[in-house]
Protein backbone atom coordinates (compact mmCIF):
# COMPACT_ATOMS: atom_id res chain seq x y z
CA UNK A 1 0.00 0.00 0.00
CA UNK A 2 1.21 3.52 -0.70
CA UNK A 3 2.66 5.30 2.30
CA UNK A 4 0.21 8.26 2.33
CA UNK A 5 -2.77 5.92 2.09
CA UNK A 6 -1.51 3.76 4.92
CA UNK A 7 -1.18 6.85 7.11
CA UNK A 8 -4.71 8.00 6.25
CA UNK A 9 -5.99 4.50 6.96
CA UNK A 10 -4.17 4.49 10.32
CA UNK A 11 -5.87 7.77 11.24
CA UNK A 12 -9.29 6.43 10.20
CA UNK A 13 -8.80 3.23 12.17
CA UNK A 14 -7.74 5.30 15.17
CA UNK A 15 -11.00 7.24 14.96
CA UNK A 16 -12.91 3.96 14.74
CA UNK A 17 -11.05 2.48 17.72
CA UNK A 18 -11.70 5.65 19.72
CA UNK A 19 -15.39 5.60 18.82
CA UNK A 20 -15.63 1.99 19.97
CA UNK A 21 -13.69 2.69 23.18
CA UNK A 22 -15.42 5.90 24.26
CA UNK A 23 -18.81 4.94 22.87
CA UNK A 24 -18.53 1.70 24.82
CA UNK A 25 -17.63 3.65 27.95
CA UNK A 26 -20.67 5.90 27.50
CA UNK A 27 -22.91 2.86 26.98
CA UNK A 28 -21.41 1.12 30.03
CA UNK A 29 -22.02 4.10 32.29
CA UNK A 30 -25.63 4.42 31.16
CA UNK A 31 -26.25 0.68 31.49
CA UNK A 32 -24.07 -0.02 34.53
CA UNK A 33 -25.53 2.47 36.98
CA UNK A 34 -28.95 0.82 36.81
CA UNK A 35 -27.55 -2.71 37.12
CA UNK A 36 -27.30 -4.81 40.26
CA UNK A 37 -23.73 -5.80 39.34
CA UNK A 38 -22.11 -2.44 38.67
CA UNK A 39 -18.53 -3.58 39.25
CA UNK A 40 -18.93 -6.50 36.86
CA UNK A 41 -20.24 -4.21 34.13
CA UNK A 42 -17.43 -1.69 34.52
CA UNK A 43 -14.63 -4.22 34.87
CA UNK A 44 -15.87 -6.37 31.99
CA UNK A 45 -16.31 -3.33 29.78
CA UNK A 46 -12.83 -2.07 30.67
CA UNK A 47 -11.23 -5.39 29.74
CA UNK A 48 -13.13 -5.63 26.47
CA UNK A 49 -12.53 -2.01 25.44
CA UNK A 50 -8.83 -2.12 26.36
CA UNK A 51 -8.38 -5.42 24.56
CA UNK A 52 -9.95 -4.08 21.36
CA UNK A 53 -8.04 -0.79 21.51
CA UNK A 54 -4.62 -2.26 22.27
CA UNK A 55 -4.89 -5.06 19.72
CA UNK A 56 -6.05 -2.48 17.16
CA UNK A 57 -3.08 -0.22 17.91
CA UNK A 58 -0.69 -3.15 17.66
CA UNK A 59 -2.18 -4.29 14.35
CA UNK A 60 -2.25 -0.84 12.79
CA UNK A 61 1.27 0.11 13.87
CA UNK A 62 2.95 -2.89 12.30
CA UNK A 63 6.28 -1.73 13.72
CA UNK A 64 5.96 1.78 12.26
CA UNK A 65 5.84 4.65 14.73
CA UNK A 66 4.24 7.03 12.21
CA UNK A 67 1.17 4.82 11.85
CA UNK A 68 0.93 4.35 15.62
CA UNK A 69 1.12 8.11 16.16
CA UNK A 70 -1.65 8.81 13.63
CA UNK A 71 -3.77 6.03 15.09
CA UNK A 72 -3.42 7.61 18.53
CA UNK A 73 -4.32 11.00 17.05
CA UNK A 74 -7.49 9.51 15.57
CA UNK A 75 -8.24 7.97 18.98
CA UNK A 76 -8.02 11.40 20.64
CA UNK A 77 -10.17 12.97 17.90
CA UNK A 78 -12.83 10.33 18.53
CA UNK A 79 -12.71 11.12 22.26
CA UNK A 80 -13.46 14.77 21.57
CA UNK A 81 -16.32 13.89 19.21
CA UNK A 82 -17.92 11.29 21.48
CA UNK A 83 -17.61 13.59 24.50
CA UNK A 84 -19.43 16.36 22.67
CA UNK A 85 -22.13 14.04 21.32
CA UNK A 86 -22.77 12.42 24.71
CA UNK A 87 -23.01 15.72 26.58
CA UNK A 88 -26.51 16.43 27.88
CA UNK A 89 -28.33 19.36 26.37
CA UNK A 90 -28.21 22.45 28.58
CA UNK A 91 -30.82 25.11 28.75
CA UNK A 92 -29.89 28.64 27.82
CA UNK A 93 -29.06 29.69 31.36
CA UNK A 94 -26.20 31.95 32.40
CA UNK A 95 -22.97 30.21 33.37
CA UNK A 96 -23.16 31.52 36.94
CA UNK A 97 -26.45 29.73 37.52
CA UNK A 98 -25.01 26.48 36.18
CA UNK A 99 -21.98 26.65 38.44
CA UNK A 100 -23.90 27.49 41.59
CA UNK A 101 -26.80 25.08 41.08
CA UNK A 102 -25.13 22.17 42.90
CA UNK A 103 -24.72 23.91 46.26
CA UNK A 104 -27.48 23.66 48.90
The pLDDT of 81-101, averaged and rounded, is 67
Question: For 29-71, what is each residue's pLDDT tens digit?
Answer: 988 888 899 999 999 999 999 999 999 999 999 889 999 999 9
Question: Is the residue at 98 inside a domain?
Answer: no
Question: Is the residue at 17 inside a domain?
Answer: yes
* Number of structural domains found in the chain: 1
Distance of alpha carbon 37 from alpha carbon 69, whole angstroms: 37
Question: Is the residue at 42 inside a domain?
Answer: yes
Question: Is the residue at 99 inside a domain?
Answer: no
Q: Can you give the residue range of the structural domain that contains 27?
A: 3-86
Question: Is the residue at 96 inside a domain?
Answer: no
- pLDDT grade, residue 81 (50/70/90)? very high
Say what the pTM is: 0.77
Amino acid sequence: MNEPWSLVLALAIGVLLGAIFYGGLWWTVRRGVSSKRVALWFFGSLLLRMGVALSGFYSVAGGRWERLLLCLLGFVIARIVVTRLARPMRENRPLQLLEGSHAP
